[in-house]
């Protein structure tokens, strides 16, 4: 069914005690397209990502990925692994997202062994392909994380996420902690991967320029609620909601001058 | 990213230093003694000749004799095995049990963590020696009952330290990433979490070893652990009491100095290991 | 007119165990009274250490050579009471406010401390000034905020408190070290506006340190780009952005995605930013520079004057006007991308 979304979310809600982190979020992600979830701190965007990959359990709502419901925790190892082959995630902090004791080759090998029954030669071949895909050479794929830079670590984290050939990759502020010149390299790698594998991205980010670079559609969240959604280009060129306008107006660029908003406006504090 | 943490800058490892090497030497000697002591001893440690009671160094008897006329050096050599293996047993049991509880409570959190913490809080209230006395009363005196009691008393201390490290590790992004990969809790705890706190576990183990030696010696001194006439450094301190009062300190003193030397060395090394474990992350 | 701040041939080496590693090499620049200059660089560029050297906040064991002159005084030689006075006249705002404020003391204690101790200002008066400063940075109900503890304030609000505190001692120079990097983008815009207004009102000079070239350009008339411990270009912000003279400045300009249009790929340079002590001899940017020639790798590059600015590149005159067009977006190969 070509029109059915690869991932779909309906009425997603998450409460932490009395605090509502995410309220009534719905969106569709179609195969080969990329979606941004845009927001600042407290918007709930990271909670959304965590719910989709199963690290957080929704209070209400439905998440369907690859035509299978994943709104409730997986029952059993087989289902957990299958979900891991469908949707994967790359986190923000390059210094915490890799096991410090495993080299790239070892960690990819372990992921492959957990999921498949390939023989050693096949696993080595796949590891090599992944390394090429993310732009890591022989030395780097065999090095421990502590001998890799931030950009190299993120590439490794991407390689790990792609090891099982997922259909959806969630990028949770995955380039935010990188130097500007490195960020550009990793964004190019992500573009190449999408071209080669037809993977769909969900980009969680506060950085509107990166959102523009990488995504087709966007959802803007504020304090757990969606305030606006639409094609990324239209959203950024002609924002409708006051919050989206304020976000867009806060981005430094040629001719931009920072201005003070009203002191009493809740958005300013 | 601070320039001082650039990755290919050579990592500074906590160096051993003179004290470190001295400690290593002492520990190595102690271990060798524990293994080879009974074979290396110059005389029969149990051969008592009261006519030589408390006689000082005399020919081949380098340290002289104890209150029963037995060769002191031989008793030290042979006693090393009981003393050191007793402490090792306590440390091992406490570390293994403590690590398990720490990892399980850190992983599951919630009610598991709350229950375990409450139980451990109760256990905290009992000093090791008191538990050893109780164990001796119930199970009869001896190394096993004293050892088990001490190990149980130590578990809350171990768990408190390791649980913090385990919780920190559990919260790391790589654990979440592997969970999303579908890894089982079993695999994550055993192959990822535990190894990453293993440096701390080993360091804690060595420090615990030092404490265990002293506590076991105290228990034996009280007559509740290793029983006389078995050679054991704690027992020797006790046996040498009367000699001490009469002006013949060598029996108690030699055993006490041995204990202090080994405990200091092991504790110092343990702290060095802990420093290295903390430092070599990232 | 003599500049308020003059940094001459500043070289800083930090101690790491038994060795010293160079992080800033021969840096020279001036800031006039009331002027705002942006200092832009990535990891290892030495930009934060420059601010610390000026404020005399370098870590223990650091070796400093060269000169730092503030309002005629030799900063590097100051001691005791004079040094304390210097720190009142040069205010610093850091990236993470929570790391620089005592969490167990109230806000008013923190804000009034230096006034009471250094300025001998009575407590009531100090508190009045603190409340006035909080109003200026746009915090409502200052009296209530003064009685609160740091954990009761959000990151953005705490950063405003830090700015207000910095301004209490009536400084003449403000060193802002990535002070908005940890904030949400809307809060960042607000804080930048506050800084800008306050600066103009008081004629305050500012050294604005950031990794964001466009942000620096928005509040600073002049921008300096640093790489591997050296200044590579100093120019008016506008011209630096439109027509960079140094290949690294051009790379920074092009590394950011364009928010107004979608390009399939970015013009990314290979490799990763290095510190001064890791950099090779000759031009430190050469390993990553698409225009590097053998002579670049052989000669240590010197600063030259060009087009109302200064640039450290022997090829700058040749490459002028061509840098922004020159990086061609080709498919990334493992070799090209692998260094980062």
What CA–CA distance (Å, rounded) separates B225 from B230? 11
Average pLDDT value over all residues in chain B: 86
Using an 8 Å CB-CB cutoff, list chain A residues near B11. 146
pTM above 0.90, yes or no: no
| Tens-place pLDDT, residues C211-221 | 999 999 999 99
Contact C259 A268 (CB under 8 A): no
Q: Is A157 at the interface with chain B, CB within 8 A?
A: yes
Contact C246, C316 (CB under 8 A): yes
Q: How far from the centroid of its chain's Cα atoms is residue A142's Cα?
A: 26
The pLDDT score that the predictor gives to residue B129 is: 83
- Residue C1: pLDDT band with limits 50, 70, 90: low
**Is 90 exceeded by the pLDDT of residue A13?**
yes
CB C172 within 8 A of CB C89: yes
The answer to whether the Cβ–Cβ distance between B4 and C14 falls below 8 Å is yes
Q: Is B260 part of any domain?
A: yes
Structure confidence at residue B14 as a pLDDT band (50, 70, 90): low
Q: Is A165 on the interface with B (CB under 8 A)?
A: no
Asked if A185 lies within 8 A of C197 by C-beta distance, the reply is: no
Structure tokens at C119: 């300025």
Any idea where the domains of chain A sit in the sequence?
A: 7-249
**Given pLDDT bands bounded at 50, 70 and 90, which one contains residue A2?**
low
Residue B247 lies in a domain: yes
Share of chain A above pLDDT 70, in %: 96
B229 prior amide bond cis, ω within 30: yes
Strand pairing category for A60-65 and A168-172? unpaired
Bridge partners (DSSP) of residue A25 are A12
Cross-strand pairs, B36: none
Q: How far is Cα of residue B101 from the mean position of the Cα atoms in its chain?
A: 19
Contact B20, B267 (CB under 8 A): no
pLDDT over 90 percentage in chain A: 90
Residue C82 has φ and ψ, to the nearest 5°, of -65, -35
> Quick one: which of C210, C282, C292, C294 has its CA closest to C252?
C210
pLDDT tens across A79-109, in order? 999 999 999 999 999 999 999 999 999 999 9
State the pLDDT confidence band at B3, using cuts at 50, 70 and 90.
very low
Report how far residue B217's alpha carbon sits from residue B79's, in angstroms, rounded to the nearest whole number: 11
Q: Which residues contact C144 (CB under 8 A, 6 or more apart)?
A: none
Residue B226 lies in a domain: yes
Cα gap C83→B157, rounded to integer Å: 47
* pLDDT for the residue C70: 94
The reply to whether C44 touches chain B by the CB within 8 Å rule is: yes
| Chain B contact probe: residue of C12, C15, C17 with most B CBs at under 10 A | C17
- How near does any CA of chain A get to the CA of B221, in Å? 45
Closest Cβ–Cβ partner in C196, C256, C261 for A180: C256
pLDDT tens by residue, A180-227: 999 999 999 999 999 999 999 999 999 999 999 999 999 999 999 999
B136 vs A122, more confident:
A122
**Domain-embedded: residue B273:** yes
Structural domain contains residue B138: yes
Q: How far is CA A235 from CA A36, A202, A207, C199, in A?
A: 11, 16, 14, 34
Greater confidence (C66 vs A259) lies with C66
Nearest-CA distance from A104 to chain B in Å? 13
pLDDT digits (tens, 9 = 90+) for B33-72: 888 888 888 888 888 888 888 888 888 888 888 888 888 8
Of A146, A157, A164, the CB nearest to B282: A146
pLDDT of residue B2: 39
Question: In this complex, which of B179, B195, B282 lies closest to A55 when CB atoms are compared?
Answer: B179
Among B1, B2, B3, the strongest candidate for a mutation testing the C interface, having the largest count of C CBs within 10 A, is: B3
Chain B environment of A146 (Cβ under 8 Å): 7, 11, 282
CA distance C272 to A214: 22
Cβ separation B1–C43 shorter than 8 A: yes
Contacts of C267 in chain A (CB under 8 A): 184
CATH of the domain at B142: 1.10.3720.10
Q: Which residues of A touch C258 (CB under 8 A)?
A: 209, 212-213
Closest in C189, C241, C273 to A254, CB measured: C241
Chain C closest-CA separation from residue A196 CA (Å): 12
Q: How confident is the model at residue C332 (pLDDT cuts 50, 70, 90)?
A: very low
Domain presence at residue B89 = yes
| Residue A143 CB coordination number (10 Å) | 19
- Strand C309-311 vs strand C73-74: parallel, antiparallel, or unpaired? unpaired
**% of residues, chain B, pLDDT over 90:** 35
pLDDT band at B134 (very low <50, low <70, confident <90, very high): confident
Classify the phi-psi angles of B64: left when phi > 0, otherwise alpha if psi is within -120 to 50, otherwise beta: left
The answer to whether the beta carbons of residues B90 and B153 sit under 8 Å apart is no
Point out the residue among C156, C336, C338 whose CB comes nearest to the CB of A140: C338
Question: What is the pLDDT at residue C327?
Answer: 53
The total domain count for chain B is 1
C256/A264 touch (CB, cutoff 8 Å), yes or no = no
pLDDT of C138 reads: 87
pLDDT band at C337 (very low <50, low <70, confident <90, very high): very low
Q: What are the distances in angstroms from CA B191 to CA A77, A102, A124, C137? A: 17, 11, 21, 52
How distant is the Cα of C243 from the closest Cα of chain B, in angstroms?
29
Domains and CATH numbers, chain C: 5-220 (3.40.50.300), 226-327 (no CATH)
Contacts of C16 in chain B (CB under 8 A): 4, 9, 12
User: Interface of chain B against chain A, CB under 8 Å?
Assistant: 1, 7-8, 11, 172-174, 176-184, 187, 191-192, 195-196, 281-282
d(CA C50, CA C67): 12
**Is C260 close to A237, i.e. CB distance below 8 A?**
yes
Contact across the interface for A54 and B179, Cβ inside 8 Å = yes
Q: What CATH homologous superfamily does A7-249 map to?
A: P-loop containing nucleotide triphosphate hydrolases (3.40.50.300)
Q: What is the mean pLDDT of chain C?
A: 90
Query: How far is Cα B68 from Cα B273, in angstroms, rounded to an integer?
Result: 41
Does residue B48 lie in a domain region? no
C236 phi, psi to nearest 5 deg = -65, 145
d(CA C195, CA C201): 10
Residue C156: closest C-alpha in chain A: A269
Q: Could you report the per-residue pLDDT of A26-45, keeping only the tens digit for each?
A: 999 999 999 999 999 889 99
All partners of chain A with 3 or more CB pairs under 8 angstroms: B, C
Closest-CA residue to A200 (of A236, A161, A234) = A161
Domain limits at B127? Answer: 81-279
| Cβ distance of B3 and C14 shorter than 8 Å | yes
B181 → closest Cβ in A101, A111, A145: A111
Average pLDDT over residues B230-248: 87
Q: pLDDT tens across C246-267, in order?
A: 999 999 999 999 999 888 899 9
Q: What is the pLDDT of residues B264-278, one digit of tens each?
A: 998 888 888 778 777
Residue B74 lies in a domain: no
C184 reaches A (C-beta below 8 A): yes
Model pLDDT, residue B217: 86
Q: What's the pLDDT score for residue A266?
A: 43
Half-sphere exposure of B243 (CA within 13 A, CB side): 24
Is pLDDT at B1 greater than 60 in this prediction? no
Q: Is the pLDDT confidence value at C171 over 60?
A: yes
> Which one has a higher pLDDT value, B4 or B186?
B186
């Amino acid at each position: 069914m070509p029109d059915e979304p690869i991932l779909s979310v309906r009425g997603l809600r998450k409460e932490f005690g009395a605090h509502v982190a995410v309220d009534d979020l719905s969106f569709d992600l179609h195969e080969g397209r990329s979606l941004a979830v845009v927001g600042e701190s407290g918007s709930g965007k990271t909670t959304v990502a965590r719910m989709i990959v199963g690290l957080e359990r929704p209070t209400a709502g439905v998440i369907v990925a690859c035509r299978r419901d994943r709104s409730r925790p997986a029952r059993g190892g087989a289902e957990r692994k299958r979900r891991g082959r469908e949707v994967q995630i790359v986190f923000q902090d390059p210094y915490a997202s890799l096991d410090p004791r495993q080299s790239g080759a070892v960690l990819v090998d372990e992921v492959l062994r957990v999921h498949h029954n390939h023989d050693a030669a096949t696993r080595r071949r796949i590891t090599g392909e992944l390394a090429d895909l993310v732009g890591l050479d022989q030395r780097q794929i065999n090095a421990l994380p502590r001998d890799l830079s931030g950009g190299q670590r993120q590439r490794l984290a991407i390689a790990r996420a792609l090891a099982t050939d997922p259909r959806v990759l969630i990028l949770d502020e995955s380039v935010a902690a990188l130097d500007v010149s490195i960020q550009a390299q990793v964004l190019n790698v992500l573009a190449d991967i999408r071209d080669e594998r037809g993977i769909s991205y969900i980009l969680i980010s506060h950085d509107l320029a990166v959102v523009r670079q990488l995504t087709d559609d966007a959802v803007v969240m504020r304090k757990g609620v969606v305030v606006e959604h639409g094609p990324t280009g239209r959203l950024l060129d002609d924002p409708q909601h006051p919050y989206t306008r304020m976000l867009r107006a806060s981005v430094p660029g040629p001719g931009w001058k920072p201005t003070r908003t009203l002191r009493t406006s809740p958005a300013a504090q | 990213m601070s320039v001082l943490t650039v990755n290919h800058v050579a990592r500074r490892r906590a160096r051993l230093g003179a004290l470190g090497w001295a400690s290593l030497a002492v520990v190595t000697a102690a271990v060798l003694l524990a293994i080879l002591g009974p074979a290396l001893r110059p005389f029969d440690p149990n051969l008592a000749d009261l006519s030589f009671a408390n006689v000082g160094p005399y020919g081949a008897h380098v340290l002289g004799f104890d209150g029963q006329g037995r060769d002191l050096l031989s008793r030290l050599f042979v006693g090393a095995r009981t003393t050191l293996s007793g402490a090792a047993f306590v440390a091992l049991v406490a570390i293994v049990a403590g690590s398990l509880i720490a990892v399980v409570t850190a992983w599951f959190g919630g009610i598991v963590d709350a229950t375990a913490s409450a139980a451990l809080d109760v256990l905290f209230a009992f000093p090791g020696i008191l538990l050893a006395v109780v164990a001796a009363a119930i199970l009869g005196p001896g190394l096993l009952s004293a050892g088990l009691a001490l190990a149980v008393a130590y578990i809350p201390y171990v768990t408190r330290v390791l649980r913090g490290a385990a919780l920190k590790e559990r919260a790391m992004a790589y654990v979440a990433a592997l969970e999303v990969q579908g890894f089982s809790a079993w695999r994550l705890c055993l192959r990822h979490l535990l190894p990453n706190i293993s440096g701390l576990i080993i360091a804690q183990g060595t420090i615990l070893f030092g404490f265990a030696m002293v506590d076991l010696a105290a228990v034996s001194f009280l007559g509740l652990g290793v029983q006389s006439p078995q050679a054991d450094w704690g027992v020797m301190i006790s046996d040498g009491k009367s000699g001490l009062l009469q002006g013949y300190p060598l029996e108690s003193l030699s055993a006490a100095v041995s204990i202090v030397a080994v405990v200091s060395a092991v504790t110092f090394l343990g702290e060095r290991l802990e420093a290295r474990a903390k430092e070599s992350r990232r | 007119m003599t500049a308020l701040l003059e940094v001459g041939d500043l070289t800083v080496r930090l101690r790491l165990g038994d060795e010293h590693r160079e992080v800033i090499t021969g840096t020279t620049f001036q800031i006039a009274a009331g002027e705002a200059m942006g200092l832009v660089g990535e990891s290892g560029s030495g930009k934060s250490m420059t601010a610390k050297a000026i404020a005399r906040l370098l870590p223990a064991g650091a070796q400093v050579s060269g000169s730092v002159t503030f309002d005629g005084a030799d900063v590097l030689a100051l001691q005791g009471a004079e040094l304390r006075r210097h720190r009142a006249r040069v205010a610093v705002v850091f990236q993470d406010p929570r790391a620089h404020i005592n969490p167990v003391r109230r806000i008013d204690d923190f804000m009034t401390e230096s006034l009471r101790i250094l300025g001998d200002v009575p407590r009531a008066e100090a508190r009045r000034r603190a409340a006035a400063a909080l109003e200026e940075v746009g915090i409502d109900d200052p009296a209530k905020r003064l009685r609160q503890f740091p954990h009761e304030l959000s990151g953005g609000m705490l950063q405003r408190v830090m700015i207000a505190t910095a301004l209490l001692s009536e400084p003449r120079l403000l060193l802002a070290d990535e002070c908005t990097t940890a904030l949400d983008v809307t809060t960042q815009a607000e804080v930048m506006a506050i800084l800008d207004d306050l600066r103009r009102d008081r004629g305050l000079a500012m050294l604005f340190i950031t990794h964001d070239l466009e942000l620096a350009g928005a509040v600073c008339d002049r921008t300096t780009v640093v790489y591997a411990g050296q200044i590579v270009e100093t120019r008016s912000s506008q011209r630096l952005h439109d027509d960079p003279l140094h290949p690294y400045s051009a790379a920074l300009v092009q590394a950011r995605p364009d928010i107004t249009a979608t390009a399939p790929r970015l013009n990314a340079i290979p490799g990763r930013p290095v510190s001064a002590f890791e950099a090779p001899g000759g031009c430190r940017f050469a390993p990553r520079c698409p225009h590097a020639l053998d002579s670049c790798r052989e000669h240590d590059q010197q600063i030259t004057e060009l087009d109302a600015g200064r640039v450290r590149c022997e090829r700058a005159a040749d490459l002028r006007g061509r840098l922004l067009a020159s990086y061609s977006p080709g498919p990334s190969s493992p070799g090209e991308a692998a260094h980062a």
